[in-house]
Homo-oligomer: A and B are copies of this chain.
Amino acid sequence: MLVTRTVEELSEALASMELSLGNDGALVPTMGALHEGHGALMRVARQSNAWVAATIFVNPLQFNRPDDLARYPRREGEDFLLLQEHGVDLVFAPSPEVVFPLGWVAPELDLDGLDLLWEGAFRPGHFKGVATVVNRLLDLIPCANLYMGQKDYQQCLVVERLLCLRKAMLVQLGPALVKVPTVRDGDGLALSSRNLLLAPDQLERAKGIARTWSWMKAHGQGLQPEALVEGALERLTAEGLRNEYLVFVRDGSLEPWKRGDGAPRALYAGWLDEVRLIDNESLAIA
């Protein structure tokens, strides 16, 4: 596995791989603190690409709270071992100064309002930061396929919008976004780097989200959607979560769900003490 930290090392490594950049290959962008959700991204990427590159970069632009950035888990040693285990060809683990050098100007990206709803409303600037760093990484690492987890549902929509913009600006034809299903533990808890911040008793309460999805699935046929959401929010509160939002959207979009749209996608965000968690699930109701 080639390890790179600077743009110069990255360029040299990409050249040495003697591969047709942009026409094949996968990019798996991560913020490190890797778990089996990332493992799934790498496995899927490895199966259908000539080469796989991964990035480990805790992107300061996408944090709207400095304390959240400061305590975001970092465990680069374990991360590198996991990347190697998954047969990743190239890792790019730059410092913020390498990704956003002095004098570098972020291009304006019109995200069509996808960055303003739900997660975007509760974390102002978050998705602009995400789009900016992904845009920058794609400039540095041309590839055919980009891999991201479904757990960050809205992030996937924002990045799909970014890829459309890049096509429209003729920056490059690709890549295509491959959305990989959320990986959950045995109790249904969605894997997340932030779970590392939870003590055992907090982890137990976090599983209340999964228990609520189960309850919603069990009662989806019997209750009106409004009653279903209301009941779910009550259960989540009882589980010890401070809810931010629980909303139904048309699957694959941020449009409000209405009857006839098929199974809605439920999006949830809430706080477990001082740790913010998000999750989403497809619910067959009505």
Residues of A whose CB lies within 8 Å of any CB of B are: 1, 3, 5, 56, 75-81, 84, 91, 93
Contact = CB atoms under 8 A, between A and B. Distances in A.
Contact of A3 (B5, B81, B84, B93): B81
A54 B1 CA distance: 22
Contact of A56 (B5, B77, B78): B77
Top 9 A-B pairs ranked by shortest CB distance? A77-B80, A76-B77, A76-B76, A80-B80, A80-B81, A3-B78, A77-B93, A77-B77, A81-B84
A88 to B, nearest CB: 12
Contacts of A1: 81
Contacts of A84: 81, 84
Contacts of A76: 76-77, 80
Contacts of A93: 77
Contacts of A56: 77
A56 B56 CA distance: 20
A80 B81 CA distance: 7
- Point out which of A75, A77, A79, A91 has the most chain B C-beta atoms below 10 A from its C-beta: A77
A72 to B, nearest CB: 15
Nearest to A78: B3
20 contacts: A1-B81, A3-B77, A3-B78, A3-B81, A5-B75, A56-B77, A76-B76, A76-B77, A76-B80, A77-B77, A77-B79, A77-B80, A77-B91, A77-B93, A78-B80, A80-B80, A80-B81, A81-B81, A81-B84, A84-B84
Contacts of A77: 3, 56, 76-77, 79-80, 91, 93
A68 B1 CA distance: 31
Nearest to A77: B80
